Structure 1
Amino acid sequence: MNKELSPTERFLSLFTTLRAGEGFPALLLAAQAFAIMFSLYLLKVIRDTLILSQGDAELKAYATAIQAGLLIFIVPIFARLYFYLSPRSGKHLILCCVLQFFLFSLLLFAVLYWQGVSIAVVFYIWQGLFAVMSLAVFWAFAADLFNPRSGQRLFPLIAAAGALGALLGAASAAPLNTLSGHVGVLCAAALLLLVPLTLSGRMEEAIPTGSLAGSHEAPVSPGSLAEGFSIVLRSRYLSAIAALVVLLNLINTNGEFVVASLLTDELARQGLDSTQSPERAQRITGFYATYQSITALLGLLIQLFLVSRVFDRFGIRGALLVLPIVTLLGYGLLSLLPLLMLALIVLIAENSISYSLTATTRHALFLPVSREQKYIGKQTIETLFFRLGDMISGGLVYVASSLLGFSTLVFMLGNLVLSVILLGFAIAIGRYHYRIILKKMNNLPPVLASPISDLRIDSGRLTEFVFNTETFGDPDEGDALRYTAYLNDSEPLPPWIEFDGLQRKFSFNPGSNDGGRIQLRVVARDFQGLSTESRFDVHVAPVNGRITD
């Protein structure tokens, strides 16, 4: 296999660390994530339009509750599907089966709506199921393809493609709906699902051997109808992840309520307390449009430029702690200064991190677990427990605000307490994950296989030198090396020496006064931060041809 990075891989390395050969499969999976998220966000515009045109917000709340109720029955059906398809060849079969169901459902909805049949309530429920189930099974498929070290490096890139798809899907929905109507949007969303259906079957053969997950274990026979719940509850690790998901929902719902309450209070102070006021409606719409736009843009930037770097520098354990620390500091400050602008900043920070870093970290948590836990456990957590969190959150807000009359400050303090609990679960999950990784994979430093030889160059001339791919090696399967160069005493390179770590290339262009000997260090560092190095001398012949020390 070619060990040189392709031009495409060098470009993708701006966002994460890649091994040679990983660029093509990463792009294939990124295209699938982009298409699924684009499809989901296209459908959101007509989902809300349909439900609110045939009912009110109360009907929307009832439909959300029905989604959670249906998942109690859908999760066992999915578990049966997994046990049926798992022994068959091809890891993509489960994803394809689920997406085929949703694709044909979309086409059926398009035909029914075209014929004038009312689909609002059923479609709203269906779209909610599509959103949680398709993403859960896609990320289970991704975790099933890559070993833990490769997945940890590549998941930020794949998630960034999904974030871009969500952003473009949301931006395209209204113009497409104006141009082709609801039927056109439904058909476009269905066509987008052909992308993962077409590409997913090529993934296993495209992934290089050192990055591919091992062959999956033979599935056990299906258990009871509560198999999804038992898989989660039997594992302390999965149970902790489920609790994390519920806590994240609780904190977010409380935060949304705090912002909404402070906003209505601020409008009332400005004399806009009438719900019939057009100016009030305009101000609220503008406020939330700004909030959603900033959150989406900031989330995309975090996904593109920070997630892989947080994974690289702090690992999964460190990434888990970011959101709890942000919410702890944010709601602590907000409890002291309950201002609308501060609440908005806290919520934007919370949601942009949750949609990017925390979401990617949650997906990566399933890389080292069994295949059964990847598919059934993740599906149970990301669907049923996620919706359960929605219901608990909504119920607590209703009881605390409407029945008990708690003030906004109580919700801020409540989120402060919940953030402490969330931080505790994040620390525990990080420890569990680290122990699982150590059991399944080694964590050895890179090795220096062939030291770099000394060089002799001439001053006044450009000289390029590329050291061999075999110079350094990494015994850890799926890991990738990054290279940096320094002077012997760890100081930066002088201006006449440039080093390209992606191509392992030095460019020497010494001036007439740069003759003599200089010692360089090349450091090879893996994704876990372990390193080794090679030192070598560069002898620069001055214009007169003599080398001096």
Structure 2
Amino acid sequence: MSSRPAIQRHEWFAVVVAFAYFFCVLAAYYVIRPVRDQLSAAVGSTQLPIFYAATLVATLLLAPLFGALVARYSRRRFVPIVYLFFIAGMIAFIPLFQAQTSIDARLLGSAFFVYGSVFNLFVVSVFWSFMADLFDAEQARRLFPVIALGGAAGAIAGPALTKALVFVVGVAGLLVVSAVLLGISIACIYALSHWSMQHPVAGDVRRNERVIGGGFLAGAIETFRSPLMRRFALLMLLGDAVGTVIYALLADYSGATYPTREARTDFAASIDLYANVLQALLQVSVTRALMVRFGPAPALALDGIVKAVMLGALAVVGGPWIAVVAVVTRASAYGVFKPAADSLYTQVEAETRYKTKNFIDTSVWRFGDLAVTTSINALRAIGASVPVLATLAMIAAASSGRIGWIAGRSLEPEAKPQARE
């Protein structure tokens, strides 16, 4: 057990700003997420492979651009560029939604589904890469669960804002709110970059201005080359399999239960709100205690156990229980799994933190979405019911917990020190 203070005096500024940064990032996303999710419910889960295929294509097209930015610019430059790109996209959708009566609704909705999905992948992935570059492994254990609470608070504020504003300002107004929140995030990035120069990791005063270099395909190459990164990618795929099965079943339930777009949006926002409140409670009561005392391995294992238990219950109960399963498993994924998994990247080199992590968190994730939703349709075609799908997802959850335990233990500083650049 660490005898160091939970947050040291010189860390307070960085923790507060990082907390605000993550609050704005997640609030910006969750303001628009219910709009995306109600589209899934409207068309049904059988159409999800088409949406995810389009998202995967967009992700693969953007990955080289992201890799080129990382290779050419220092982090204090390329991270804001990523956020400015998505602010521009948000602004571009505003007149489209204002003129939606003259635009094909399915085309506009599909485009926004892709944008919202890619937004989530890149913006959140860049945040955690940036955090892993600011702090060392010991700091990550102490500080990441606290910083993650900022995201939990933003994830609560986002759907609450949507529920309060969707009938007042419409989708176009929600996009403005989201863009403003991303703008505040950029200010936080520059404040953290300045703090980093004053408090460099392991005496590396040039980290803030260092250009990582390498080719834009370095993340993909390293993922397939490194046994450790392959394990991280498998961990991501298993977690994604669980989340995507639940997402598909929830979309079908919402579409069958709520007949209007507004009702489906409100239901999606409610699921997000309850899940994110529980996520915050888990981070306060469980995640930080586990990570500070024992490291990330127990947290990763616990996430797998929680998901497996909930899915086992779904296989037996079915029906409306899917809403409860969605709330609990989503809370565990972002309140337990995510801080623990992202803390592992503090112990690898800079290029892995940005390029390989981003490749896994974006391209691998969206490939998993496409593969899982296509498999769900294939299984349904041969008669697979909700209990069968839930049981298969339960096996994936249990496997994720096992692999997470192994990955976390393999990077324990006492067992396997890793040099940081």
- TM-score when normalising by structure 1: 0.65
User: C-alpha separation between the residues in 1 aligned to 2:407 and 2:258?
Assistant: 48
Query: How well do the aligned residues superpose, as a CA RMSD in angstroms?
Result: 3.7
Question: Once the 2 structures are TM-superposed, how far is the Cα of residue 259 of structure 1 from its aligned partner?
Answer: 7.3
2:60 partner letter: I
2:61 partner letter: F
User: C-alpha separation between the residues in 1 aligned to 2:202 and 2:90?
Assistant: 33
- Residue from 400, 412, 418 that aligns with 1:434: 412
Distance 1:310 1:115, change over 3 A: same
Q: Is the CA contact 2:70–2:354 (under 8 Å) kept in the aligned structure 1?
A: yes
User: C-alpha separation between the residues in 2 aligned to 1:283 and 1:49?
Assistant: 9
Q: Is the CA contact 2:258–2:264 (under 8 Å) kept in the aligned structure 1?
A: no
Question: Once the 2 structures are TM-superposed, how far is the Cα of residue 76 of structure 1 from its aligned partner?
Answer: 1.9
Q: Is the CA contact 1:204–1:212 (under 8 Å) kept in the aligned structure 2?
A: no
Matched, 1:65 2:53: yes
Query: For residue 357 of structure 1, what is the aligned residue in structure 2?
Result: 336
Within 5 A, what are the aligned runs for 1:277-288? none
Q: Is the CA contact 1:147–1:213 (under 8 Å) kept in the aligned structure 2?
A: no
- Residue from 239, 253, 265 that aligns with 1:248: 239
Residues 260-301 of structure 1: CA deviation (Å, up to 9, x unaligned): 89x79xxxxxxxxx96x989x999999877755543321121
Query: For residue 316 of structure 1, what is the aligned residue in structure 2?
Result: 296
Residues 397-446 of structure 1: CA deviation (Å, up to 9, x unaligned): 11112x2112444334323432343233213211322269742379xxxx
Q: Is the CA contact 2:49–2:374 (under 8 Å) kept in the aligned structure 1?
A: no
User: C-alpha separation between the residues in 2 aligned to 1:354 and 1:409?
Assistant: 21
- Residue from 294, 302, 305 that aligns with 1:325: 305
Matched, 1:75 2:63: yes
Q: Is the CA contact 2:410–2:416 (under 8 Å) kept in the aligned structure 1?
A: no
Question: Once the 2 structures are TM-superposed, how far is the Cα of residue 59 of structure 1 from its aligned partner?
Answer: 6.3
Distance 1:380 1:195, change over 3 A: same
User: C-alpha separation between the residues in 1 aligned to 2:94 and 2:321?
Assistant: 44
Q: Secondary structure at the match of 2:295?
A: helix
- Residue from 86, 111, 127 that aligns with 1:122: 111
Q: Is the CA contact 1:107–1:190 (under 8 Å) kept in the aligned structure 2?
A: yes
Residues 467-522 of structure 1: CA deviation (Å, up to 9, x unaligned): xxxxxxxxxxxxxxxxxxxxxxxxxxxxxxxxxxxxxxxxxxxxxxxxxxxxxxxx
Query: For residue 214 of structure 2, what is the aligned residue in structure 1?
Result: 222
Distance 1:396 1:310, change over 3 A: same
Matched, 1:196 2:207: no
Q: Is the CA contact 2:37–2:265 (under 8 Å) kept in the aligned structure 1?
A: no
Distance 1:136 1:282, change over 3 A: closer
Aligned length: 408
Q: Secondary structure at the match of 2:351?
A: helix
Which deviates further from its counterpart, 190-199 or 139-148? 190-199
Query: For residue 177 of structure 1, what is the aligned residue in structure 2?
Result: 166
User: C-alpha separation between the residues in 1 aligned to 2:285 and 2:28?
Assistant: 24
User: C-alpha separation between the residues in 1 aligned to 2:368 and 2:393?
Assistant: 15
User: C-alpha separation between the residues in 1 aligned to 2:294 and 2:158?
Assistant: 32
Distance 1:331 1:173, change over 3 A: closer
User: C-alpha separation between the residues in 1 aligned to 2:72 and 2:270?
Assistant: 47
Question: Once the 2 structures are TM-superposed, how far is the Cα of residue 143 of structure 1 from its aligned partner?
Answer: 0.8
User: C-alpha separation between the residues in 2 aligned to 1:408 and 1:244?
Assistant: 24
Structure 2 residues without counterparts, runs of 5 or longer: none
Within 5 A, what are the aligned runs for 1:335-354? 337-338=316-317, 347-354=326-333
User: C-alpha separation between the residues in 1 aligned to 2:120 and 2:313?
Assistant: 34
Greater strand share, 1 or 2?
1
Identity of aligned residues (%): 22
Query: For residue 31 of structure 1, what is the aligned residue in structure 2?
Result: 20
User: C-alpha separation between the residues in 2 aligned to 1:41 and 1:145?
Assistant: 25
1:426 partner letter: G
Question: Once the 2 structures are TM-superposed, how far is the Cα of residue 156 of structure 1 from its aligned partner?
Answer: 0.9
Q: Secondary structure at the match of 2:347?
A: coil
User: C-alpha separation between the residues in 1 aligned to 2:400 and 2:109?
Assistant: 37
User: C-alpha separation between the residues in 1 aligned to 2:182 and 2:64?
Assistant: 24
Question: Once the 2 structures are TM-superposed, how far is the Cα of residue 113 of structure 1 from its aligned partner?
Answer: 4.1
Question: Once the 2 structures are TM-superposed, how far is the Cα of residue 95 of structure 1 from its aligned partner?
Answer: 1.2
Greater helix share, 1 or 2?
2
Q: Is the CA contact 2:237–2:365 (under 8 Å) kept in the aligned structure 1?
A: yes
Q: Secondary structure at the match of 1:434?
A: coil
Distance 1:62 1:346, change over 3 A: closer
- Residue from 392, 406, 414 that aligns with 2:384: 406
Distance 1:235 1:49, change over 3 A: same
Q: Is the CA contact 1:42–1:169 (under 8 Å) kept in the aligned structure 2?
A: yes
Matched, 1:304 2:284: yes
Distance 1:71 1:58, change over 3 A: same
Which deviates further from its counterpart, 390-399 or 248-257? 248-257
The one of the two structures with greater contact order (alpha-carbon pairs below 8 A, sep at least 6) is 2
Which deviates further from its counterpart, 420-429 or 295-304? 420-429
Structure 1 residues without counterparts, runs of 5 or longer: 1-15, 265-273, 443-549
Question: Once the 2 structures are TM-superposed, how far is the Cα of residue 322 of structure 1 from its aligned partner?
Answer: 0.6
